[in-house]
Chains A and B, each alone.
Chain A
Amino acid sequence: MIAETTKEAVPAKKEPVGAVLVCGGGIAGIQASLDLSAAGFYVYLVEESPTIGGNMARLDKTFPTGDCATCIISPKVVACMRDLNIDVITMAEVVKLEGEAGNFRATVKTRPRFVNMDKCTGCGDCIERCPVRNIPRTVFESKPAEELDKKDEAFLTDIIARQQGDPGALMPVLEATNRVYGYLPRGIVEHAASRLSIPLASALKVASFYDKMRFEPVGRHVIQVCNGTSCHSQHSAALISLLEKKLGVSDGGTDKSGRFTLRTVRCLGLCALSPSMRIDDVSFGKVDPDDIDKILEQFS
């Protein structure tokens, strides 16, 4: 049951002067309205969404000057709302336009807002109470680019099944993938996002937040050297640079032969045995840089 009210934008006299109807309350529409008002016209600004401001309000910076978007648009939005010559009609659309240039008659349909705008103070309580909150307006269909091969398919199906519909399943799924594969293969992330009905961008945001999750394939063995406080106090920096030199890589890199990936971590929990490191799941405490070759030899 949608209440239908119609508002008619009718110029007072049938002369080619009077009011102008502007469609769309984005930055262009707002600027046009302000300019027209300054030129002495009465303006009807019709906007489909609940507020004016449009896309620019969602941007951080504007190209090419790098100016702050909000700083540009906010004063204009306020000016527009305050301007007595501008009638802002939101949640509305133009359904009919009759007449000719200089003498139009427009019919505008306004959708219900369920809020009495005359009483609105912008307190935000309605957002708290809104029954349709949290229902996204657009459903993101992220379609994976490619099919998974059999092995990956079986892995992902199993790992998702184990979450038993847990609403927080994304994190364990990504974590398990990262643990088993050593990194996050793009295909699996795409399929996981789509099966959990999470936008791909959100899944990537989560994955990129956690230090352990990486997007590049790893070598046959992963070396984790501790760069925590206790290990730092016992000269882990020397150990790290020795490993970097030996493998010819820096933190996060994989050596040419694909044997080792080197990572520094903030504490392995072997703080009383510093400096410490771990290769795959074998831990080493009180590591003496002179023993490095002997340790690396055990992993081919």
Chain B
Amino acid sequence: MNTAVRTSGDLDKLASLGSASLYPEKVKILIGSGTCGLAMGARAVEDAALATVKRFKADATVSRIGCIGFCSQEPLLDIVLPGGPRVSFGSMTAAKARAVLTAYFTKGNFGGEKPLGRFSSEEHVSTGEVHSYGSSPAAEGIPEWSKLDFFRLQKKVIMRNCGSIDPMSIEESIARGAYRGAQKALSSMKPASVLDEITASGLRGRGGAYFPTGQKWRFAHNAKGDVKYVVCNADEGAPGSSMDRSVLEGDPHAIIEGMIIGSYAIGANVGYVYVRSEYPLAITTLEHAIAEAEKLGILGDDIFGSGWNFRLSVRRGAGAYVCGEETGLIESIEGHSGEPRGRPPFPVTAGLWGKPTVVNNVKTWASVAPIITRGSQWYASIGSKTTTGTTIFSLEGSVKNPGLVEVPFGITLRDMIYGMGGGIRGDKACKAVQVGGPSIGCVPPSMLDLAIDSQDVPGKSANMGTGGIIVMDSDSCVVDMTRFLLGFFVDESCGRCTPCREGTKQMYAMFNKICEGKANTETIEQLERLSQAMNAASVCGLGTTASGPVTNALRHFRDDIDMHIAGRKCPAGVCEMKKA
């Protein structure tokens, strides 16, 4: 195989190819083509852009990029001016795209369309290099992208290349520093020093439990056996979170590179990425990326001439939330129904086909490579003392600017909702925030000022799990939301253990009674007892956390519940009271 990439010189060659298409001499038009962009009509915008370029015989290329996170402004169209900055336009339609491009090609301005912002430079996070776009009179007076409220507090590590590269081009991602970390680890580091570096960085799993990643890898490294596996958990079953999707769609190489490094540190030659079937575009993009990496010898045998072999394949889920639980996921890869296993043994000693297996979340894997290239010190300087680095949240619900935000730990919900999200639509009051997927439930506005962290420190910081931040305005009802979340658990309980299978049903029925005004104070006592039982006796995390929304509703929104029970009235008018 003489096409194989072996040295950093080979990577340089690919990088210069990538730079040529990433930063061409001519006009470059970028269309945000993640699932979010497509859902808002990005294809029509792209067609209009192509037609306009053709009509004016302009020297311009049109390229598709992933999601930059600014979902409220989709579809996005960016114009990289030759020698000038990159200028972004939001809420595009075919007509608007035609108008902007026509104005630019004929008059050198943007007509009446007001740009969202501009990039004068951008950082290649993996290497720390800064690419300067330069300036142009056409872009005078446009606010800097990094100064926009939505982006001001963000720090991109995981989504470092999302919305900047064509995810179908491995060269473009290499031009922004991809695979430098893998090359460095495999050719100049011992597995033990990779483990030390990851441990020192303080990286914790982003799948919800915040388990220290270095420690998990070390367990698997030390486990006996010559066959080991690494798995990327891209099941993202918790409704209201689309962060993993945007990483897979926008920068699949970030995950592949992380897994190569992980496989080397642990001693695993085979890896799987388990992606939920609701993400067809993510699967296509990832499969394409794996094929490209294989063609360059970055996956396969003797990677970077180091003698290290690693193969990666994609597995699709089929619509089961519990398959996001790591042992359920392992069962599913083995070809069974995804019923979680009891533990111990933990997957790090006996996982896939009984072999030591490391399961990490998409965001965890995507964080690995920059730690290797820029060092654990650099990574540990981001975030809070107890939880280093960044994570992605999805701002949604009644917030003005919904979208994906990557933030360092230590930030507060208020910063995100009011700072980045621009506050609540219609300037209504905040009733509650539904955080952490279905298992945490609703938290009250009094928690808006707590720092987001992996540890709970009363009055200071709170673990908000992972997932969406669904803002509920004063017209929403927490009791109804809690019932909805319980309904989710009823649907998704796999039925293996009784506390979860029956408990979720009973809890749902009780909350239904509250919503219908048929409950009494005894119902609350029953709920409390049932929560404890489920928490203590369920086999997996689904059952033990299913009572989370109930506990939080009882703790923080007791007044609302009492109003439903004693007053037989829903303050927000959401729940329909039935005749007793």
Contact = CB atoms under 8 A, between A and B. Distances in A.
Interface of A: 167-172, 174-175, 178-179, 205-206, 209-213, 224, 226, 228-234, 265-274, 276, 281-286
Contacts of B74: 273, 285
Nearest to A178: B318
Contacts of A210: 317-320, 337-338
5 contacts: A172-B335, A209-B494, A267-B237, A272-B396, A273-B39
B494 A283 contact: no
Given A205-B337, A271-B470, 7 more contacts: A210-B318, A232-B481, A266-B237, A267-B237, A271-B242, A272-B242, A285-B36
- Of residues B317, B396, B484, which shows the largest number of chain A Cβ atoms within 10 Å of its Cβ? B396
Contacts of A265: 278, 319
A229 B280 contact: no
Interface in B27-75: 35-36, 38-40, 71-72, 74
Closest 7 CB pairs of A and B: A228-B239, A209-B337, A210-B318, A272-B71, A267-B239, A211-B319, A212-B319
A96 B176 CA distance: 83
B394 A271 contact: yes
Query: A interface, by DSSP: helix, strand, loop or mixed?
Result: mixed
A167 B318 contact: no
A212 B240 contact: no
Contacts, number: 152
A23 to B, nearest CB: 38
A230 B242 CA distance: 11
A229 B278 CA distance: 16
Nearest to A226: B239
B36 A270 contact: yes
B367 interface: no
Contacts of A271: 239-242, 394, 396, 402, 468, 470
Nearest to B284: A281
Interface of B: 35-36, 38-40, 71-72, 74, 236-242, 245, 277-280, 315-321, 332-339, 353, 394-398, 402-404, 434, 438, 468, 470, 472, 476, 481, 484-485, 488, 491-492, 494
A172 B315 contact: yes
Nearest to B242: A269
Contact of A168 (B242, B333, B396, B397): B333
A218 to B, nearest CB: 14
Nearest to B249: A269
A272 B395 contact: yes
Given A167-B334, A209-B338, A285-B36, A228 B318 contact: no
A300 to B, nearest CB: 19
Contacts of A268: 35, 278
A133 B558 CA distance: 55
Given A269-B279, A273-B36, A273-B74, A168 B335 contact: yes
Contacts of A266: 237, 239, 319, 321, 488, 491-492
B319 A171 contact: no
Nearest to A163: B335
Given A168-B333, A229-B485, A175 B35 contact: no
Contact of A272 (B38, B72, B485): B72
Contacts of B39: 270, 273, 276, 283-285
B332 A171 contact: yes
Query: B interface, by DSSP: helix, strand, loop or mixed?
Result: mixed
B470 to A, nearest CB: 5
B353 A167 contact: yes
A112 B333 CA distance: 38
A89 to B, nearest CB: 36
A206 B319 CA distance: 12
Nearest to A228: B239
Contact of A270 (B35, B438, B488): B35
B335 A169 contact: yes
A272 B484 contact: no
B264 to A, nearest CB: 23
B277 A283 contact: no
- Of residues B242, B245, B395, B434, which shows the largest number of chain A Cβ atoms within 10 Å of its Cβ? B242
B386 to A, nearest CB: 28
A226 B319 CA distance: 13
A174 B335 CA distance: 10
Contacts of B334: 167-168, 171
Given A283-B38, A286-B40, A272 B394 contact: yes
B215 to A, nearest CB: 28
Contact of A206 (B35, B337, B476): B337
B438 A229 contact: yes
A218 B32 CA distance: 32
Contacts of A172: 315-316, 335
Given A209-B320, A230-B470, A283-B39, A273 B71 contact: yes
A144 to B, nearest CB: 19
A271 B335 CA distance: 30
Given A269-B245, A269-B279, A273-B39, A230 B336 contact: no
Contacts of B481: 229, 232-233
A270 B319 contact: no
A83 to B, nearest CB: 33
Given A206-B335, A284-B39, A233 B278 contact: no
B184 to A, nearest CB: 32
Given A178-B318, A272-B396, A267 B36 contact: no
A175 B468 contact: no
Nearest to B401: A272
B36 A233 contact: no
Contact of B333 (A171, A178, A206, A212): A171
Nearest to A213: B318
B402 A273 contact: yes
A14 to B, nearest CB: 56
B216 to A, nearest CB: 23
Nearest to B438: A229
B116 to A, nearest CB: 16
Contacts of A228: 239-240
A244 to B, nearest CB: 17
A39 to B, nearest CB: 41
Contacts of A229: 239-240, 434, 438, 468, 470, 481, 484-485, 488
Contacts of A226: 239
B321 A171 contact: no
Nearest to B282: A269
A286 B36 CA distance: 10
Contacts of A267: 237-242, 278
A283 B472 CA distance: 25
A276 B245 CA distance: 15
A230 B397 contact: yes
Nearest to B494: A209
- Of residues B334, B335, B353, B472, which shows the largest number of chain A Cβ atoms within 10 Å of its Cβ? B335
A231 B334 CA distance: 33
Contacts of B396: 230, 233, 271-272, 274
Nearest to A210: B318
B140 to A, nearest CB: 31
Nearest to B403: A272
A175 to B, nearest CB: 5
A206 B336 contact: yes
Given A167-B334, A274-B396, A233 B434 contact: yes
A181 to B, nearest CB: 14
